[in-house]
Structure 1
Amino acid sequence: MTAGGVITFLRPTGLSGLQTIAVGIMPLLRSFSRTSAANSGVPKNINLGWVDIVLFRLIVWYHYIMKFFIASPWKNKTQVEQLTGELDKLGHSAYSYVESGANLLTGKPIEDEMKEFTKALVNWKIDDRIAKIAESEVQAIKDADVVILLLPAGDSSHMEAGIGYGLGKRLVLIGPVEKPEVIYLLFNHVYLDISSFLQDFSFLTE
């Protein structure tokens, strides 16, 4: 079971649904505010730019909210917890198997959950619990804006990153590369460790 980590930022390549709505209704609200002022006798020299300010702040705020999918194995639990927590502190909504992504099988703490997961893998082809996890993780990748591959990682985590690439997600590689892979050239950003990643966030401006 990998760290299906989703934590949320605005789609870096365009307006989100909320942004599109805000931009679309801005002219209407401007017109409404001016018409209301004219009909109510409010002096014309009063600045009614509050509508623009509120909507602009809404757009800017939402622009820096992103969803992350953290692809990483169970053995990296401590690092996944650290990354999830730090992103959450920065105001990004975070999902990972150590928090909201856990309890898919039993509703128990993640340690017990992993024991059940290991048992369920024996009959992975027919066990509905494994199918549920697979569906949950694929959906999480679809919902994410950024897919993070946190090294060291195995085949499953690399496959999740590959799915992200196929879906056009921005890819971030974090961790020392002990065994170079050709596909690492597909990543938009590469960082030696979590701290370096948190200090940069350069992809937000691209």
Structure 2
Amino acid sequence: MKFYVASGFSNIEKVRYVSGKLKSKGHKHTYDWTLNERASTIEDLTTIGLFEKKAVTESDFVIVLLPGGKGTHIELGIALGLNKRIILYTENREIYNFDTTSTFYHLPEVEKFVGTLDELIEFL
């Protein structure tokens, strides 16, 4: 199965960990954005955006590791629009904080997972 991991730069090591574990189980990572430097031009943003959009499109499932930034949430939206399997991950129960949560986290097609990264890997 092919997967994509959406998250923010603050979670690079977690994304790499999850990706490595899934690849060791035979899954294919559609795009590893953690190898990128931060974009410094509009052209960089365009190129990265095209790769990330294609990666979400080609994935069988998308893991969203919170916290995430604007791009993470756009990738979540693309995955929702394409009816991908979506697993929304948080180490704590922050997604249930009514003051800071997102409407889209609670759609029925979004699988929410709270726990450790190793528990997430086992869940997948």
Question: Structure 2 length as normaliser, TM-score?
Answer: 0.82
Give the conservation status (yes or no) of the 8 Å contact 1:71–1:149.
yes
Q: Which residue in the other structure is 2:33 paired with?
A: 97
Look up the SS of the partner of 1:195 in the other structure: helix
For the aligned residue pairs, the C-alpha RMSD in angstroms reads 1.6
Structure 1 segments of 4+ aligned residues over 3 angstroms from their partners: none
Give the conservation status (yes or no) of the 8 Å contact 2:33–2:52.
no
| 2:16 paired residue among 52, 67, 81 | 81
Moved more, 132-141 or 182-191: 182-191
Percent identity over the alignment? 30
Letter in 1 for 2:62: V
Q: Which residue in the other structure is 2:6 paired with?
A: 71
Q: Which residue in the other structure is 1:163 paired with?
A: 78
Deviation at 1:180, TM superposition (A): 2.1
Q: How does 1:4-153 map to 2 (within 5 A)?
A: 66-94=1-29, 95-98=31-34, 102=35, 110=36, 113-114=37-38, 117=39, 119-120=40-41, 124=42, 128-153=43-68
Unaligned residue ranges in structure 2 (runs of 5+): 95-99
| 1:180 paired residue among 98, 101, 111 | 101
CA distance in 2, matches of 1:152, 1:73: 7
CA distance in 1, matches of 2:47, 2:14: 25
More helix by share: 1
Deviation at 1:138, TM superposition (A): 0.7
CA distance in 2, matches of 1:177, 1:160: 21
Q: What is the aligned residue count?
A: 115
Look up the SS of the partner of 1:190 in the other structure: strand
Look up the SS of the partner of 1:153 in the other structure: coil
- Structure 1's 147 and 132: CA in aligned 2 closer, same or farther, altered over 3 A? same
CA distance in 2, matches of 1:166, 1:145: 13
CA distance in 2, matches of 1:177, 1:153: 15
Deviation at 1:177, TM superposition (A): 4.0
